[in-house]
Amino acid sequence: PAATLTESGQRVATEMSGDSSGGHMIELVGAAGATADVGHADSAGDDSDGSGLLNLLSDDIFVDEGKTIDVPAPPSSNTQDKDGPTCPSCKRQLPARAKICVRCGINVETGRQIITSQDTNLNEIYGIAEKTIWWISWVSWLGVYPIASEAFGLKKPIVIRTIAVVTILISGWFLWLELSFSDSMIRHKNLMLWSGDGEIDPDTLLAYYYGTGWGDTEAFDNQLELSADSDLNEDERILAAHNAIPKDRQAIGQFRASQLVTHAFLHGGIFHLLGNLLFLMVFGSRVNALIGPLLTVIVYPVLAIGAGLAHAMSCADQMASPMLGASGAIMGLAGMYFVFFPAHNVHVAAWWRWGIIRWFELSMTIFTVRGFWVVLFYIAFDVAFTIIGAEDGVAHWAHLGGFIVGIAVGVILLLARLVNARGGDLISVILGRRAWALLGRPGYAGDDE
């Protein structure tokens, strides 16, 4: 049987058993549902019928069954403390010297919410990072990469994990086709995002035919042989041979709307894939955990489309070329992360392998930094390389486009109150309590129910 002792609205409950030697913990259950262990209950003699001593609240105080004990109750939520501050959100009077309204989760002086962090197993993450970096540093001697985030979300990032698995499978399949020069690449090249309507460069065209499996090389060679005795120069012969081949057999693909999404599931190499997966899991999983699976399923292709359109517009006057990779969509997730979690810590690993100077010694450190600094650090490279017009084979405009779309989507979700970042979002960090008019008041601002 259960024994219940009541006083002032508080409850103390303990389960009784027939074991005369057993003991049970007593918990005080407060109005807010918090519990605190204050002692244990021992049974005396034959306790099978619930008789005897029920509870031991301290070393000196025993309470017999059925008796009422004096357990001081905390003040009710309506109790006024004239000396205490008033919560600016729920308008309740708080105890003297109170700095935080527990119910609303805010600092009563600033109106800013208390940031909730994700409890991560950092020891395990650090251990895996150190072992992985030891191997990777032999290929990439210098690196600065995020490895974990403390951003908090209530949902499991199932969608992002699924996207990661699907991306690995499709990218692996596509890489195999490309490296094996499979004839099917002539068709599957149109999974990449093709953009550009500028003049064709003959040398680049030759690289397309002989360096990839994108076009019908045999048909191209036959056309070149047919024009061998013509009056055309070398460049004109190359272009003529290309134009004589049916479009679906040419090494240059044709734009299709579906490519705005499919390109995000393809990668050009193992390190390209691994780098994107790292950012996807660090930033994307936290966004997924906050906004939930349904919104993530909708948002991810939107970010990929935004990144693809930005890239396509940036190279509209250039020769047609393909773009592939999830980095544009992932930078969109980073943009959303920037809006939702600017103040949360991100754990970053940095390393340098010295080479022959110090016998290939590895220097490595792992440190924490606010999320907005991490995101701005990486997007700054895209801004800089775009300004100087660098041609490094990286789709910087796709990164910038995805990032801008991600920021816009994040702000819209906050303003529409479809997402609650619990005061850790960019708007709340900047505006403080002035953000309540846009995002709603934190905690419970209404009357008790």
Q: What are the average pLDDT values for consecutive 10-residue runs of the chain, which has 449 residues? A: 34 35 34 35 39 35 46 51 81 87 84 76 84 88 92 93 98 95 94 96 96 95 89 93 95 96 96 96 97 98 98 94 97 98 94 84 92 95 92 93 98 95 90 88 54
Cβ(436)–Cβ(367) below 8 Å = no
Provide the pLDDT for residue 78.
52
Q: What are phi and psi of 138, to 5 degrees?
A: -75, -25
Q: What is the pLDDT of residue 108?
A: 86
List alpha helices for 250-326, DSSP H. Answer: 259-262, 270-279, 285-291, 293-314
Query: Terminus-to-terminus CA distance in the chain, angstroms?
Result: 31
What is the C-alpha to C-alpha distance for residues 277 and 280, in angstroms, rounded to an integer? Answer: 5
Output the pLDDT for position 111. Answer: 81
Distance CA 297, CA 157 (A): 11
- Closest of 81, 96, 83, 90 to residue 113, by C-alpha: 90
Give me the pLDDT at residue 447, please.
41
CATH classification for the domain delimited by 122-200+252-436, as one of 1.10.357.10, 3.40.50.150, 1.20.1540.10, 1.20.950.20:
1.20.1540.10
The pLDDT value given to residue 23: 36
Query: Helix 396-415 and helix 371-387: axis angle, to 10°?
Result: 140
Beta-carbon count within 10 A of 383 CB:
14
Buried b (16+ CB within 10 A) or exposed e, 346-363: bbbbebebeeeeeeeeee
Residue whose entry in the numeric block shows the structure tokens 């919104």: 295
Q: Is 56 helix (H, G, I), strand (E, B) or coil?
A: strand
Report the pLDDT value the prediction gives residue 444, as an integer from 0 to 100: 52
Give me the sign of the Cα torsion angle 382, 386, 389, 391: positive
Cα 286 to chain centroid, rounded: 3
Give ranges for CATH 1.20.1540.10 in the chain: 122-200+252-436
pLDDT number for residue 448: 40
Query: Tokens 């805010």 label which residue?
Result: 106
Q: How many residues does the chain have?
A: 449
